[in-house]
């Protein structure tokens, strides 16, 4: 064996003592860190629980507010909107619609009285008269034989 000198032996013992002291302090530090982490987790859980409770209360308050609004204020607002819309429809919008209808009627009367419209009506009446006359002539020809053709253009239309 190798003998130790007293200084090395003293330093070794001091190192062992310091190591034991440091190990104890390290364990204490680890324990205090673990305790702090557990306290922080408990505190966080407490805050999350409180926030969840407060959020639930806020949701219930919002639901109650919506129900009260829906049963008291909202129908009154809707009635007011409908009343305003009806007044607008009867007032300015109604007057404008009436003016447009009157103008449309004037245009229709003007179109019905135009030369082209009269000509189209006369042609339509002539076609109707030709068809009615052809039916009657067919009946007469069936009973009495052929008869002379009639010029429809000489008839009043």
The answer to whether position 141 is within a domain reads no
**Is residue 152 predicted with pLDDT exceeding 80?**
no
The answer to whether position 50 is within a domain reads yes
Distance of CA 87 to the CA centre of its chain: 27
The more confidently predicted of residues 24 and 119 is 119
Q: For 35-52, what is each residue's pLDDT tens digit? A: 999 999 999 999 999 999
Q: Which residues contact 130 (CB under 8 A, 6 or more apart)?
A: 152
The answer to whether position 135 is within a domain reads no
Give the number of domains in the chain: 1
**Is residue 100 predicted with pLDDT exceeding 70?**
yes
Query: What tokens appear for 16 in the block?
Result: 């062992």
Containing structural domain, residue 24: 7-90
Evaluate the CA torsion angle 90, 92, 93, 98 in order and state its sign: positive
The answer to whether position 126 is within a domain reads no
The answer to whether position 1 is within a domain reads no
């Amino acid at each position: 064996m190798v003998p130790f000198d007293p200084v090395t032996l003293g330093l070794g013992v001091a190192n062992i003592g310091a190591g034991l002291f440091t190990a104890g302090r390290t364990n204490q530090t680890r324990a205090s860190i673990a305790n702090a982490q557990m306290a922080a987790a408990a505190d966080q859980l407490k805050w999350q629980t409180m926030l969840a409770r407060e959020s639930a209360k806020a949701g219930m308050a919002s639901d109650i507010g919506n129900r009260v609004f829906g049963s008291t204020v909202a129908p009154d607002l809707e009635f007011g909107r409908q009343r305003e819309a009806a007044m607008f429809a009867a007032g300015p919008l109604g007057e404008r619609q009436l003016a447009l209808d009157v103008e449309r009627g004037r245009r229709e009367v003007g179109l019905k009285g135009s030369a082209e419209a009269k000509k189209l009506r006369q042609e339509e009446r002539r076609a109707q008269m030709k068809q009615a006359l052809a039916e009657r002539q067919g009946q007469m020809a069936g009973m009495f034989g052929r008869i002379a053709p009639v010029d429809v253009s000489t008839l009043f239309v």
